[in-house]
Amino acid sequence: MPIRIKPIYRLAPCVLTFEDIQKIATLVDMEFPVATFSANDKIWEIYEETREPFLTAISQRDVLDLLEIKANDNVSGDAREVKIIFSGDEAKVTCMADPKHERWFEHFINDLERCIHPPTLLQLMTYNYRYQNVISTALMVALPISVSLSRSTPYCKIVIRQKPPDPFIENIKANIVSNIIWAVGVFVFGVLATVVTQQLLKK
């Protein structure tokens, strides 16, 4: 039975600028002889184009909803394939290769992560709450504002012709939401504690 690595590496929430995409495209072109690039927004799409036409086309957009890169090195007979996806729902790299390329894949991921901007505090807060412990999960269920926040905050924000979010403004937004969540959480805890205490006193 053939053996190969087929890992799916999930990247953290992030912000991508046009300069970041240029760096990623350069990295992919250096590593693979064949690479195609796709992207779309709400009303526009470019599909499986080569690097330069792709970069020229997306440079005229404001934001993107999806960036997808497919690359392979099947020409040399030493097969390696990667698929990279950045979207509002996820950021991940899928690799299909011989096990001997495991170390190469680790270095490729490190180089890729250096090409992207870190997430805003609002992104971190949204997606950390989504995957935290049971208490945070229960709190999210109790707070409609948290659900609304997770729907409106993209996992990967792709900004082409707009400035990336101002960290100061994002911190203010995140602090406001955090304070609301904390206040409601304290209120819910107080109500539960009161109910439990009343039940104990009845007994």
Which of the four pLDDT bands, split at 50, 70 and 90, describes residue 109?
very high
The pLDDT of 178-201, averaged and rounded, is 68
pLDDT, position 49: 96
Which of the four pLDDT bands, split at 50, 70 and 90, describes residue 201?
low
pLDDT, position 100: 87
Instruction: Rounding to the nearest 10 degrees, give the CA dihedral for residues 28, 87, 167, 162.
Output: 80
- The more confident residue out of 40 and 196 is 40
Residue 180 phi/psi, 5° resolution? -65, -45
Which of the four pLDDT bands, split at 50, 70 and 90, describes residue 122?
confident
pLDDT, position 3: 67
- The more confident residue out of 19 and 133 is 19
The pLDDT of 141-156, averaged and rounded, is 63
pLDDT, position 174: 64
Q: Which residues of 129-162 are buried (b: 16+ CB within 10 A; e: fewer)?
A: beeeeeebeebbeebeebeebeeebbbbbbbbee
pLDDT, position 14: 94
Whole-structure pTM value: 0.72
- The more confident residue out of 132 and 103 is 103
Which of the four pLDDT bands, split at 50, 70 and 90, describes residue 181?
low
User: How far is CA 69 from each of CA 47, 48, 63, 86, 161, rounded to the nearest angstrom?
Assistant: 10, 8, 17, 9, 20
Pick from 42, 35, 8, 9: nearest CA to 21: 35
